[in-house]
Chain A
């Protein structure tokens, strides 16, 4: 049990409660934010330092099969970034794919307390739970993939929404998932047939269904179950010049779906930087034709309220691309001719995650335009509650570069400095250089705390500092009334790179970058309760399908309790209304 603590005189930004820079005290007891603590509580005078809820990263590849493949195949990624053990922490390495301990420590040092792994191949769930045992100082959660499984296709083909919903419910419960991830629906599967299916209206070989239909059904099923987190979507045709059109087309195709209990948003589009590539009017879709689609996509978002998005901001320098979108990685490999890994087993039956190390270069035409896309977007959206900061770690850059991303969002001066030496396309093929807007601290707090917690459906305990929230608190060493951050972008980076204090569940886990390992804070999962008939039906059907299609037993699919019970924070939801 953590000691009661009171943080006094903090300048608080807590957008969920409309608090914008008020000086106030924060009380913590028993891992929660409380109204008040008694006199024996530990008192820390923050002297007007900046206070926010612990950061919430809703899309960062931190555990699992492809992260492991990536780490193992890239010792060169780690060796220049050694992390010695300390009295309180384990040793390890960085850089774009740190070992599990260092991931936890570096998030703590930045004031982040919740991080979601957004692509779990469900049949490898056990491995991810084992790995999370070694992922310290974080609340986390896993999003299993449902997009290229023959079981999904089978239900979609039969127009069996209940069956699909039940398959999702069964999987979330069996492997401990927090939501539904969809990556290039049908496309990765088609690739196992040797077919490059990038058209959302094309046919998935052998099934007579289209990527759009798969997407639509998965979205509907998610809403039917009433999962707290909406469908987490990585579209077809990712990473191709001109794909802003197909991305919008895909989002348009689910507009008719009614949100659970009338909720407005039914889809979260992830790493939009890779799917809002436009091309110069009248030109083709070669890389030379690239233009930013950021503004276009922002305009679409401002008009259409049914989805949210995260940025996937390219940060320049080394990155490691890794995704359940195997064909995209093969395409990237054909461009780079460097290392290429493909992992077929990841989306059983067919499919494949891919991995390609990649260095984003500001002098390269394509990369420089790609860099402008999410910034152009984020600086043109009306509602920051729908726009989340991410680098799709480690795809567009490591999460440790978030402070740099904040500086681009919050400082026109910083953008101008960076664009000075950039490829001319950054100026010619994007309006970014003309944008004056600078994000406020409140907007930053929305985008990095409150909004992701809300979109994930964990806003009761995460993303804010109200009474009853988990005592996840970040204190940054800056008095924002004494410095103009927009004029001092380096100060933005310095401030957010290393928190003054980070509290996790009321425990102090970091002070000025000195981290203490407190073990895994818990893994959030959702357990949809189905009506008995549907539960019986899905067990029977899945046993048959898995035993026919998988290479291991249906009975060895679920992650055993002994790997979960001590970490799992279960939320049961009532999905009994889904008809059998």
Chain B
């Protein structure tokens, strides 16, 4: 029996990208995950589960196992004959795979979008309106004396976020219990709210009003109403006084803010509030990115296409338009005629109108595991899991790039996403010549 210990491993589950994971590997099997949260443990210890045996092609409703070459050839055939290819996903794979996806979209004159269009896309649009006073996790730990989680439940979705970054002691916050306060703003008392120093309940859909009221009070405006979104004006005035008087404040925000009524207007209002607060003291903000490399998908898309998501290549140069070139919209309008899905599960997450279209068009699904989208897909190509079975790079929620190591061999004949995509691209170029 061989046994290896791998240290300083980066976890490939959520946007925290904790890089202190210690893995024990026996005979190419991960048997222990030290330091990881419950989700991390599940991800690493059960990575061999739900893995398809081989690539498949669906014919007459039945998926038949085929060789990788046959699956690639079928995928290329579908892409080459598409009029409006949609390439989607990317947030649960490493950066090199993204590059190949953009090349395919460009070569086919299609659209490429990543999952941020259904999570923090509005965050990016907010930044396009106003900029972004972006926080950093090290600084949060060392300096912040007030942390607000808005529409975010870290104890559930980012289990080590509070422990490692906002409940931990830092260079200038020696006793975090005393010196740092944590507030949670949410529509319901989440488990994170339960352990926060203050919970502020707001009515569903009132985020924009509450943020605007806070900002108005901060700017010295008198509001002739008693309450906004279930929060009294007096309470808002108290919050504002506190926010002005801290040394270093940080706002973390989740999908409760980005995907509720108002969407990017909410984020724009939050950004402007944080910018205004900087006239008094230090404040910054950070989106609680979900998938471990959704931030990386925005980064790679930005340097390679100029835009962070929702990119169309039909005119042979990249164009950007959320709402038009975003995956859900493209499908719901019945526009996309082939879907190349990489490392995401739209069948499990997209609204019905988009799913209806997905049921009618060929789907090429590239994912290490069996997922809901596999059940619809014409071509399924299982791949190696980045950060476990092959290496790569990913980007943390605050923009820090981290290296992902390979710790075990993938199942036989399973290649990294980037290799499968490169084979598709090379073959596509050959066919389209």
Contact = CB atoms under 8 A, between A and B. Distances in A.
A73 B131 contact: yes
A394 to B, nearest CB: 13
Contacts of A65: 399
Interface residues of B, number: 64
Interface string B19-46: 1100000000000000000000000000
A556 B275 contact: no
Interface stretch (A279-287, A343-351, A457-465): A343-351
A551 B278 CA distance: 24
Given A91-B318, A100-B303, A74 B128 contact: yes
Centre residue among A72, A99, A343, A348 by max chain B CB count within 10 A: A72
Given A72-B308, A84-B315, A562-B391, A345 B282 contact: no
B99 interface: yes
Interface in B302-321: 302-308, 313, 315-320
Contact of A71 (B19, B135, B136, B303): B303
Contacts of A73: 124, 127-128, 131-132
B281 interface: yes
Contacts of B139: 192, 344-345, 349-350
A124 B399 CA distance: 8
A553 B8 contact: yes
Interface string A62-73: 010101110111
B393 interface: yes
B127 A194 contact: no
B51 to A, nearest CB: 26
Interface stretch (A127-135, A213-221, A514-522): A127-135
B33 to A, nearest CB: 16
Nearest to B309: A72
B299 A127 contact: yes
Interface residues of A, number: 68
Interface stretch (B186-194, B346-354, B400-408): B400-408
Interface string A229-255: 000000000000000000000000000
Nearest to B168: A551
A340 interface: yes
B265 interface: no
Centre residue among B133, B171, B400 by max chain A CB count within 10 A: B400
B422 interface: no
B147 interface: no
B131 A68 contact: no
A123 interface: yes
A342 interface: yes
A191 B124 CA distance: 26
Centre residue among B127, B306, B317, B401 by max chain A CB count within 10 A: B306
Interface stretch (A25-33, A75-83, A162-170, A403-411): A75-83
Contacts of B391: 560, 562
Interface in A109-142: 123-124, 126-127, 130-131, 133-134
A513 interface: no
A130 B402 CA distance: 11
A300 interface: no
A343 B134 contact: yes
B121 to A, nearest CB: 12
B281 A194 contact: yes
B396 to A, nearest CB: 8
Contacts of B313: 91
Given A75-B307, A91-B313, A130 B393 contact: yes
Contacts of B316: 84-85, 91
Nearest to B313: A91
B interface SS class: mixed
A72 B298 CA distance: 8
A418 interface: no
Contact of B7 (A63, A330, A333, A555): A555
A63 B138 contact: no
B253 to A, nearest CB: 16
B315 A71 contact: no
B293 to A, nearest CB: 12
A146 B39 CA distance: 37
A340 B137 CA distance: 20
Contact of B134 (A101, A127, A342, A549): A342
Nearest to B139: A344
B141 interface: yes
B400 A123 contact: yes
A92 B306 contact: yes
B317 A341 contact: no
B113 interface: no
A68 B303 contact: yes
B395 interface: yes
A74 B302 CA distance: 11
Contact of A124 (B7, B95, B307, B401): B401
A344 B402 contact: no
Nearest to A194: B282
A83 to B, nearest CB: 6
B215 interface: no
Contacts of B320: 75, 78-79
Given A126-B401, A344-B284, A101 B304 contact: yes
Given A75-B320, A340-B131, A127 B307 contact: no
A224 interface: no
A93 interface: yes
Interface in B239-282: 247-248, 275, 278-279, 281-282
A47 B200 CA distance: 77
A345 B138 contact: yes
B305 A552 contact: no
A462 B10 CA distance: 40
B130 interface: yes
Interface in B102-117: 106
Given A343-B134, A555-B8, A63 B303 contact: yes
Interface in B396-433: 396, 398-403
A134 B303 contact: yes
Contacts of A102: 306
B398 A99 contact: no
Contacts of A93: 305-307, 317-318
B142 interface: yes
A473 B72 CA distance: 42
Contacts of A75: 128, 306-307, 320
B275 A340 contact: yes
B303 A82 contact: no
B165 interface: yes
Contacts of A131: 303
Contact of A98 (B278, B306, B402): B306
Nearest to A91: B317
17 contacts: A63-B303, A71-B307, A75-B307, A85-B316, A91-B318, A93-B318, A102-B306, A124-B400, A127-B299, A130-B393, A130-B401, A343-B136, A349-B171, A552-B396, A553-B19, A555-B8, A562-B391
Instruction: Enumerate the 7 nearest inter-chain pairs by beta-carbon distance, A residue then B residue, closest first.
Output: A345-B136, A339-B131, A93-B306, A127-B401, A551-B138, A82-B317, A344-B136
Given A330-B278, A556-B403, 16 more contacts: A63-B303, A69-B132, A78-B307, A82-B319, A339-B130, A340-B133, A341-B127, A341-B131, A341-B133, A343-B136, A344-B134, A345-B400, A355-B131, A549-B142, A552-B19, A553-B8
